[in-house]
Structure 1
């Protein structure tokens, strides 16, 4: 496949969890990809050299720089995401910058949405009305409103791909690091509030594949919402059990972080305060209904869960712990069945 007939894509947030996966997927398929990176050396270390990859120094908060870099691009992937406690003001301002950049090219903006807009609504359908119950949920609603208004005014087109919690190789945050490094070193795996409810997770290479398939499928409507729920595990405990087994620890040890801990630390630590209001996501199973996407791509199948777990453990072993890793059990279909969100039998 040559690159001449493929759109040129600017990836913002390309060193982050979902942005990195999307950029890697698109490069593997021959797309021309530009990364705007505040730390170009970090981006260069994450990506293999490719004739189709251009790394530009700069910050998307610098609107003139963003406008200059975005010239000639057909698609902008808006993967910029600040730490929770920095969301106020920054998320909307960055989205306005991205809209301005897309408007000068009449470009497509791919926006990875999430479930915060909907509070306790479940299942979340593509036409579900926003019902945020947190500040961060309200911020996400305003971000999506900005994108929808710009698209309907003809300034750009926007597929909003809503996703649940990320995990996978290169996903390094305060949630995933202690899970996968803990599994490799025999430590207890941490979770918040309860580990015995169904929960949706999306393996980032699968999310990236869905995004690239949507891109290849053709021009979307001005503003289009697409839900992709990844896999719904029957409980976080069951998920952790399988991670531990593949890592070589047959008996899982789980450490549940209680709600009161966040309340106590919230006045002293901005991140804990930001997390405190999001605890409802751990007390309830909030699920995306992705029936429409699965009808659209009926042959689509997620990476088998065991394979995804083994790949992620291998990445953490090599890149975080400087160790070799071989799965302790044969990597077969998971010990429990996983379902798309539209299947009610998980309850």
Structure 2
């Protein structure tokens, strides 16, 4: 087995990938800025090697990548600092090349596509981002794929839609799930009556674990779609059904996001990405399934059950049924 490192591992996607690797009995390295966060997340797994790094230090990047065959890149930045994405990718890639890393897998987003021209978006859909965040993510991808074209390293990108799952507090669905468990108002970002795709985080890890070993994956970009594209209102209704809660929705549209953004940078930055809720980007991942075989996709009913159960356990609340 090749040695794998997860850069930016402490987030929920990193933990999903680590769990998939561990279930195969494969050792892996987790790399992040905070050693304490890494030890909290992975310290109980004897297969995990914990390494902290400074992404602005070339020597630190190279040391974190030494002895690694495949680097899985998930390094995050603040939502209001997307200009850092291309530069962090460049620094990491240069350090990886210097350390002799053979492969890089970037966990990407739908942002580089821009507005969808088709009802289902395949990998050959034009990349014409009309937002700053989309342009920064496209620049990140371009740096990596150019390095592949130049023969410096093997590279691939796996694009994900929005995600949800147990412990995923950054999800659009999180506050509604909390309200369904403990009562209260479900705060949402709208519109909530348009189809929207979510991937269940525990489903991502097994896909990435298979992708890294597929030699034909490199040099290309791949989509991973969710288990369908319901509306947010339908998903909240399912939360209410499972808990018996009578939920009232409080929906923030683009105008409200602008007002909230006067006080919260994160909300301000959501304004330009609101098109993803008004003009859905729904992905086609048939190419990925042809490459690695059938993909397990947890149905939303079961995914929501797990999300609600995790929140209830954390808060010491007993759910019905």
The separation in 1 between residues aligned to 2:81 and 2:38, in whole angstroms, is 23
Structure 1 contact 233–239 (Cα < 8 Å) conserved: no
Aligned partner of 2:41 among 38, 42, 46: 46
Matched with 1:294 is 289
Q: How far off its partner does 1:61 sit?
A: 3.1
Q: How far off its partner does 1:147 sit?
A: 0.6
The separation in 2 between residues aligned to 1:144 and 1:84, in whole angstroms, is 18
Q: 1:41 to 1:268 in 2, by over 3 A?
A: closer
Structure 1 contact 206–230 (Cα < 8 Å) conserved: no
Q: Which moved more, 1:264-273 or 1:223-232?
A: 264-273
Matched with 2:110 is 115
Q: Secondary structure at the match of 1:87?
A: coil
Deviation digits for residues 149-177 of structure 1, max 9, x if unmatched?
01111111122111100111232227344
> Which residues of structure 1 form unaligned runs of 5+?
1-5, 330-347
The separation in 2 between residues aligned to 1:221 and 1:215, in whole angstroms, is 8
Q: Secondary structure at the match of 1:83?
A: coil
The separation in 2 between residues aligned to 1:311 and 1:254, in whole angstroms, is 21
Q: Does 1:237 align with 2:256?
A: no
TM-score by length of 1: 0.85
| RMSD, matched Cα | 2.0
Q: Which moved more, 1:300-309 or 1:139-148?
A: 300-309
The separation in 2 between residues aligned to 1:267 and 1:188, in whole angstroms, is 23
Aligned partner of 2:60 among 62, 65, 75: 65
The separation in 2 between residues aligned to 1:98 and 1:92, in whole angstroms, is 10
Q: Does 1:91 align with 2:95?
A: no
Structure 1 contact 156–222 (Cα < 8 Å) conserved: no
Matched with 2:168 is 171
Matched with 1:343 is none
Matched with 1:130 is 127
Q: Does 1:185 align with 2:182?
A: yes
Deviation digits for residues 317-343 of structure 1, max 9, x if unmatched?
334x2x1544x35xxxxxxxxxxxxxx
Matched with 1:145 is 142
Structure 2 contact 16–205 (Cα < 8 Å) conserved: yes
The separation in 2 between residues aligned to 1:74 and 1:272, in whole angstroms, is 39
How many residues are treated as equivalent by the alignment? Answer: 318
Structure 2 contact 156–219 (Cα < 8 Å) conserved: yes
Q: 1:131 to 1:180 in 2, by over 3 A?
A: same
Q: How far off its partner does 1:114 sit?
A: 1.0
Matched with 2:254 is 259
Aligned partner of 2:302 among 303, 307, 329: 307
The separation in 2 between residues aligned to 1:193 and 1:120, in whole angstroms, is 17
Structure 1 contact 193–282 (Cα < 8 Å) conserved: yes
